[in-house]
């Protein structure tokens, strides 16, 4: 917001409130209050308002087509924000499902290919100077460039990387966001290793060697049937004793704790009834928490915060999101608030 205000030449007084004050407020954060005490919340709406305060800035685009294009890429950036958040939170988290994180990173890279293709031969996303599309997309993608879009990625996405470097070099960006540095090498969550040639595990090698030794110890050319029978008897007894002493394998079930943020259709939606509908979603390996929270959004509207524990191999979190969104008579949108391995 401050970047847009600076680009528009608009004065913006920033007031910071404590977490306790924010909880007591019925308005979603961040928000701005106009000279007429009118409140506007949601970052993209605030950016659009600030841009229109100075039409000559061109921040909203020039002409109907450019304005529509700006709105299009702002919406694209907002949708990409969830993907960036998943990847970045994975890097900063303590325990991460390696396959899931790699899939999320792959999905994000696939998404930004659209912007890379669009930027071919262009300096900025829309028109010949920065718009709020550049600001929203630049701020959204900045954490990815700082943590996981390294120089190797940059070579394959030259237009996107060049645009990002132009954006972070803008004086207004430096003033409010500081010096944003691109990463030279992509960071990965603990436990997610770089691709490496597979080597035989020592345990397997030892097992093969033991098997080979056991084969060598067997006399395949014995000419005494009684000796053969005795050998077979000893082998059977040894196997039986080994089976007795063997410890049962411990089965580890990978689980995750997922918190959902469910925004209701309107202020009339009964969140208690909605919570019961969510809890009544029955899937093998899905265990809903019976306690939930209602947090204020704005203008008397509250959102539902509800969690579940899932067995990773049995339950797809994406499927759960779709099921909750299926209550379209009560639900406006569903976001994943937290995703932690147990």
pLDDT tens sequence across 182-197: 888 888 877 676 544 4
How many CB atoms sit inside 10 A of residue 306's CB? Answer: 23
Q: Is residue 121 within 8 Å of 128, Cβ to Cβ?
A: no
pLDDT score at 86: 85
pLDDT score at 28: 64
CA distances from 106 to 100, 148, 187, 323, 328 (A): 10, 11, 14, 25, 30
CA 101 to chain centroid: 8
pLDDT band at 249 (very low <50, low <70, confident <90, very high): low
pTM comes to 0.54
> What gap in Å lies between CA 323 and CA 308, rounded to an integer?
14
* Predicted confidence (pLDDT) at residue 176 exceeds the cutoff of 90: no
> What 3-state class would DSSP assign to 79?
helix
67-71, 160-164, 224-228, 323-327: lowest mean pLDDT where? 224-228
pLDDT tens digits along 49-102? 888 888 888 888 899 999 999 999 988 988 888 888 888 888 876 557 788 888
> What gap in Å lies between CA 324 and CA 36, rounded to an integer?
38
pLDDT band at 268 (very low <50, low <70, confident <90, very high): confident
How many CB atoms sit inside 10 A of residue 156's CB? Answer: 11
Which residues, listed in sequence order, are joined to residue 259 by a DSSP beta bridge? 307, 338
2-11, 28-37, 97-106, 258-267: lowest mean pLDDT where? 28-37
H helices within 171-328, ranges in order?
A: 171-177, 202-217, 225-245, 271-279, 317-325
Q: Is residue 83 within 8 Å of 101, Cβ to Cβ?
A: no
Q: Span 281-308, mean pLDDT? A: 87
pLDDT band at 260 (very low <50, low <70, confident <90, very high): very high
Q: Is the peptide bond before 30 cis (omega within 30 degrees of 0)?
A: yes
* Whether the domain at 2-177 and the domain at 255-341 fall into the same CATH topology: no
Report residue 201 as tokens: 């595990």
Residue spans of beta strands (DSSP E) within the chain: 31-33, 39-41, 255-264, 286-298, 301-311, 331-341
pLDDT tens digits along 121-140? 999 999 999 999 999 999 99
> What is the number of residues in the chain?
342
pLDDT band at 44 (very low <50, low <70, confident <90, very high): confident
Tell which wins on pLDDT, 177 or 212.
177
Rounded to 5 degrees, φ, ψ at 123 are: -90, -40
The counts of H helices and E strands in the chain are 13, 6
Tell me yes or no: is domain 2-177 CATH 1.20.1050.10. Answer: yes
> What 3-state class would DSSP assign to 316?
coil
Distance from first CA to last CA of the chain, Å, rounded? 37
pLDDT tens digits along 213-232? 444 444 434 444 554 455 55
The percent of residues above 70 in pLDDT, for the chain, comes to 75
Count of alpha carbons within 13 angstroms of residue 99, beta-carbon side = 3
* DSSP code, position 56: G
Sheet with 301-311, side-by-side order of all strands: 286-298, 301-311, 255-264, 331-341
* Domain boundaries defined on the chain: 2-177, 255-341
Q: Which fold has domain 255-341?
A: Alpha-Beta Plaits (3.30.70)
Rounded to 5 degrees, φ, ψ at 41 are: -120, 175
* Predicted confidence (pLDDT) at residue 4 exceeds the cutoff of 90: no
> What gap in Å lies between CA 331 and CA 175, rounded to an integer?
40
* Predicted confidence (pLDDT) at residue 210 exceeds the cutoff of 80: no
Among 262, 260, 259, 258, which Cα is nearest to 312's? Answer: 258
Q: Is residue 283 within 8 Å of 315, Cβ to Cβ?
A: yes
């Amino acid at each position: 917001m401050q970047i847009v205000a600076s680009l528009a030449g608009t004065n913006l007084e920033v007031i910071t409130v404590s977490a306790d004050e924010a909880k007591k407020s019925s308005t979603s954060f961040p928000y701005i209050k106009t000279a007429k005490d009118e409140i506007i919340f949601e970052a993209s709406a605030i950016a659009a308002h600030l841009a229109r305060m100075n039409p000559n800035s061109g921040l909203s685009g020039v002409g109907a087509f450019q304005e529509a294009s700006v709105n299009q890429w702002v919406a694209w950036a907002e949708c990409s924000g969830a993907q960036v958040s998943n990847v970045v939170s994975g890097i900063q988290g303590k325990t991460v499902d390696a396959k899931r994180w790699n899939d999320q990173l792959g999905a994000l890279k696939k998404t930004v290919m659209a912007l890379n293709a669009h930027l071919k031969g262009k300096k900025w996303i829309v028109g010949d100077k920065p718009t709020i599309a550049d600001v929203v997309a630049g701020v959204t993608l900045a954490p990815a460039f700082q943590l996981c879009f390294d120089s190797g990625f940059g070579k394959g996405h030259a237009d996107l990387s060049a645009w990002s470097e132009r954006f972070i070099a803008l004086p207004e960006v430096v003033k409010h966001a500081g010096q944003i540095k691109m990463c030279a090498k992509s960071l990965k969550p603990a436990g997610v290793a770089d691709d490496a040639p597979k080597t035989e595990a020592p345990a397997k090698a030892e097992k093969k060697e033991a098997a080979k030794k056991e084969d060598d110890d067997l006399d395949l050319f014995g000419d005494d049937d009684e000796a053969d029978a005795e050998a077979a008897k000893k082998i059977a007894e040894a196997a039986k004793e080994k089976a007795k002493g063997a410890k049962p394998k411990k089965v580890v079930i990978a689980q995750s704790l997922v918190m959902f943020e469910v925004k209701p259709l309107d202020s009339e939606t009964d969140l208690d009834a909605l919570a019961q509908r969510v809890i009544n979603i029955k899937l093998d390996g899905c265990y809903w928490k019976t306690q939930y929270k209602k947090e204020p959004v704005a203008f008397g509207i509250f959102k539902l915060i509800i969690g579940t524990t899932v067995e990773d191999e049995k339950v797809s979190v994406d499927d759960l999101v779709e099921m909750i969104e299926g209550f379209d008579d009560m639900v406006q949108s569903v976001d994943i608030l937290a995703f932690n391995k147990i």
